[in-house]
Structure 1
Amino acid sequence: MTVSPIAEPRAGQRARLDGQLGTSAIVFMVIAAAAPLTVIGGNVPLAIGVGNGVGAPAGFILAAVILLLFSVGFVTMTPHVREAGAFFSYVTAGLGSRAGLGTAFTALVAYTAIQVGIYGYMGWALDDLVTFFGGPSLPWWLYSFVTMAVVAVLGYRHIELSAKVLGVALVLEILVVVVLDVAILATGGESGLALESFDPANMFTTGLSVSVLFALTGFIGFEATAVFRDEARNPERTIPRATYLAVVIIGVFYAVSCWALVTGVGAGNAVAVAQQTLAGEGNLLLDTTTQYLGPIVRDVVQVLLITSLFACVLSFHNVIARYQFTLAHKGAMPAALGRRHEKHHSPATSSLVQTATAAIVLAVLALSGLDPLVGVFGSMAGVATVGMVLLMLVTSIAVVVFFARRPELGAGRAWTTRVMPVAAVAGLLIGMWLVLSNFTLVTGGSLGVSIMLALVPAIAFVVGILLGRRFPLHAAADDEVAEVAAADRG
């Protein structure tokens, strides 16, 4: 008789994942999900071209501030949430089982959407790269499915293999942008440092809302630090550190690089150049790289755009697989998804199912004849952005309620358990308004299509709430919360 390499959890026992991921490894995973080079090449021209122009760096700074406000309550509650469920675990502890399942469904929809969107982007980018170097033009979806196969192999294996792959890709893409930023700022750019970017008259214009919108889109996935709790070396210390570091590093990187590109082409030319990029008549990132670092580095950047997208899609694959794994152990998804591979200690079955789900959705979109950028990536990124803001909003409310019901846990910490989480709720409400009021810019579709896409995360949330009675999630037991509180006081 052969023995399956997939370990079945014993009755009443949770098959935990394990690993020795430190702060830097988790930060790598999370920043990779943000695809920084892709954001610099795509979101930054959008923020400059249709946002507040040379004041676009302010949008990335404000987005980072909103996410830091969110992170305070998120991190403060982390020691009291002893499972790798991220948002839905926090919401379950604060608002109850039904809201928790609604949050879980919303997260699965949002992350699946952005992953499928990136597969579409990757298909287009690979075809563009191959044809640029003289190769044949092939259907974009062919490249997408090849990428999916590689992601499936890495996602099936131990998390530390994915972390190493993501680490290499991330270091290279950040390094090349840092070199470009230094080259531009050291030489003074086209016409001196663009101090106009920090003029309030340029920062706080009506287009600021658009810049914040595209900045928030560029942060999708930063909160996934908590998903890797079971695989972290010391989760009570590692997760908070990784969360704050991820937000700060991503925010500073985006803002400085945006300012460097404005300086590189000149404050007086930035809007026109960005709009030419959006019209397909040039490329702000690649053309600026050619000007300051030469054509060879430009080719390197074009290749690194591919590795950036790959790192992003691999990171989201790992996050979704772990969401499903945890939900299976909560009884809200089929038990088979909670199996752990004996050798790789990975959520292997969940990983395979996640690959199949993404393949089905991508196949439907490809058969529909949609454009890989506007039709696939634009629409899916729109769904994910609304989902992300909704998830953070509900989680922040859960933090406020959790500590309000347990005043002993928040004694002497009103600033982190009440003030900052309430400020986060206010900031995220503003963020949601910014996203919805400019939603057609993200999706690239009509108003009717955009409304339907925007409703998808909300529908997932409602469905989860309705199913919450049949498949209840359970927060940590009262004695476990008390144990954590005692450890904190000790």
Structure 2
Amino acid sequence: MADEAIATGRLSAGEQSATHELSRRRIGVPDIVFFVVAASSPLTVAAGGLPMSYGTTGVIGVPLIYLVLATVLAVFSVGYAAMSRHISNAGAFYSYIAQGLGRVGGVGASFVALVAYNAMQVGLYGLFGAAASGLLGAHFGLDVPWWVCSLVALVLIAILGYRRIDLNARVLAVLLICESLTVLAFDFAQVSNAPSGLSAEPFTWGALTTGAVGAGFCWVMASFMGFESGAIYSEECRDPKRTVSRATYIAVAVIGLFYAFTAWAMSMGTGVDNIVAESGEKATDLVFILGEQTLGSGFSTIANVFMVTAVFAALLSFHNAVARYFFALGREGVLPGKLGASHPSHGSPYVGSLTQSIFAAAVVLLFGVSGGDPTGTLFNWFTNLGALGVILLLVVTSVSVIGYFRRDGRGENGWSRVVAPVLSSAALAVILVLAVVNFQALLGTPDGSVLNWLIPGLVLLAGVIGIGYGVWIKTSNPRTYAQIGHGAPPAE
């Protein structure tokens, strides 16, 4: 009814604005940092990402890769932050690319973003279900199917997604602090009990080139997923011109330094010469085994509990990102207009949130009923698909910064407008190529597997379909086309 009233002009200007606006001035820099870091999930990286990085690549210099990538992403953030000072839109990448490279390209980017963020979020339900089911079985003797655990989490996330953004931020803050303290306790225990003593070797060039360094960069890049999502909350910030840029820089620094330290501490716990072999043999159990050896048997129980809450926090973070993409695209008429409705009391993108929850529930039920593997298939395939999509968006966004400031510098200096975007786009393009070439290392599939090209092909297909759809909007609906990427409903 509200949408019909807007279309016919029966609502006042203020009511129209409220219908298509998220809650204002609800969150600040710490809140966005919580959303961003929660998406990368420190405990998930420590328990899963790091052993896989060491074990599958043979690269001892994983800590150095974290510092290199943090530097690259910090350079990317220069141009990204410059655009955030002039564009405030929940569509983030979509709106940046639309205003920097053209509306058709923006629609193409929006389709890639929807595929990538939905894939990341849905894939995490597989990991959550497996972790929660294992915890209930090991400590309570309950045999609960993984997909039931995932659906319970899905309902809780749907409720939080329906509510105000500041409530979500508080929940994430508590969960993130708990898991971060757990990881830090593990780190300091390994450093304090290093069997071979402390060594700076993992930070050397020789350590970086000990194995499949390309695959190493792919694994580490996955740990940064979500760092770019600060702009998604720009409409809900207290001071969008400053909050997004500050939060992005802080998040990159925290993720890069924290995970580099954790990767180094883990290699100290096993000994530098043993980290690759130990990671390959013990895989995701390595953190719990090393933790029990240095902190006692209680560490494993606590870490397993916080592992579940850590994945829940990541799920909530990605859910909020997807809901806001649906909202931005619905508000501008690219997707059905009802997706662009915000809750009158909570100011949340509740229709987009519900849509994402329904999609996730359908995928989880499909995998559950068919007996699909929650980690080897649902988590592995979907999250790697999402990671590849986000890397592609990072490359295109860097180029869009140059396009956006080409005719009007808007008071930004040359470093922000040109130099940093050129450097970051080149570096990120190399990472994208490495990710595609080494994709089988991410999936753990054999050389001839169809998945090695099928999953990357889905990202490209989403972009091509989006571009085609953008061309169709341009020719068939000029009013909608005029608003693409500009954060307002199409003019009537």
Q: TM-score, normalised by structure 1?
A: 0.91
List aligned pairs for 1:28-427, cutoff 5 A. 28-185=34-191, 187-278=192-283, 283-406=285-408, 408-409=409-410, 413-427=413-427
Which residue of the partner structure matches residue 432 of structure 1? 432
The correspondence for 1:474, drawn from 458, 483, 487, is 483
1:54 touches 1:197 (CA, 8 Å); kept in 2? Answer: yes
Match of 2:272, SS state, is coil
CA distance in 1 between counterparts of 2:187 and 2:357 reads 37
Moved more, 117-126 or 352-361: 352-361
1:331 touches 1:473 (CA, 8 Å); kept in 2? Answer: no
2:199 touches 2:268 (CA, 8 Å); kept in 1? Answer: yes
Match of 1:54, SS state, is coil
1:102 touches 1:463 (CA, 8 Å); kept in 2? Answer: yes
2:60 touches 2:210 (CA, 8 Å); kept in 1? Answer: no
Which residue of the partner structure matches residue 485 of structure 1? none
When the two structures are aligned, how many residues end up with a matched partner? 468
CA distance in 2 between counterparts of 1:205 and 1:50 reads 12
Match of 1:470, SS state, is helix
Q: What code does the residue aligned with 1:460 have? A: A
Give the drift of 1:326: 1.0
CA distance in 2 between counterparts of 1:205 and 1:78 reads 39
CA distance in 1 between counterparts of 2:366 and 2:445 reads 18
Give the drift of 1:400: 1.2
CA distance in 1 between counterparts of 2:280 and 2:189 reads 24
1:100 touches 1:473 (CA, 8 Å); kept in 2? Answer: no
CA distance in 1 between counterparts of 2:310 and 2:88 reads 32
2:94 touches 2:485 (CA, 8 Å); kept in 1? Answer: no
Any stretches of 5+ residues in structure 2 without a counterpart? 474-480, 487-492
Runs of 4 or more above 6 Å deviation: none
CA distance in 1 between counterparts of 2:184 and 2:267 reads 15
Q: What code does the residue aligned with 1:298 have? A: S
CA distance in 1 between counterparts of 2:482 and 2:426 reads 28
CA distance in 2 between counterparts of 1:64 and 1:372 reads 30
Give the drift of 1:52: 4.0
CA distance in 1 between counterparts of 2:91 and 2:482 reads 11
Moved more, 218-227 or 437-446: 437-446
CA distance in 2 between counterparts of 1:196 and 1:48 reads 14
2:326 touches 2:340 (CA, 8 Å); kept in 1? Answer: yes
CA distance in 2 between counterparts of 1:296 and 1:229 reads 41
CA distance in 2 between counterparts of 1:444 and 1:378 reads 9
Which residue of the partner structure matches residue 480 of structure 1? none
Q: Deviations over 1:170-228 (max 9, x none)?
A: 0011111112222322x251111132212321123342222211111111111110010
Give the drift of 1:461: 0.8
Instruction: Report the RMSD for the aligned CA atoms in angstroms.
Output: 2.0
- Percent identity over the alignment is 37
Give the drift of 1:464: 0.9
Any stretches of 5+ residues in structure 1 without a counterpart? 478-490
Moved more, 286-295 or 50-59: 50-59
CA distance in 2 between counterparts of 1:85 and 1:116 reads 20
Give the drift of 1:49: 1.1
Which residue of the partner structure matches residue 466 of structure 2? 464
CA distance in 1 between counterparts of 2:92 and 2:288 reads 37
2:136 touches 2:144 (CA, 8 Å); kept in 1? Answer: no
Give the drift of 1:48: 1.1
Q: What code does the residue aligned with 1:233 have? A: R
Q: What code does the residue aligned with 2:330 have? A: A
CA distance in 2 between counterparts of 1:180 and 1:366 reads 34
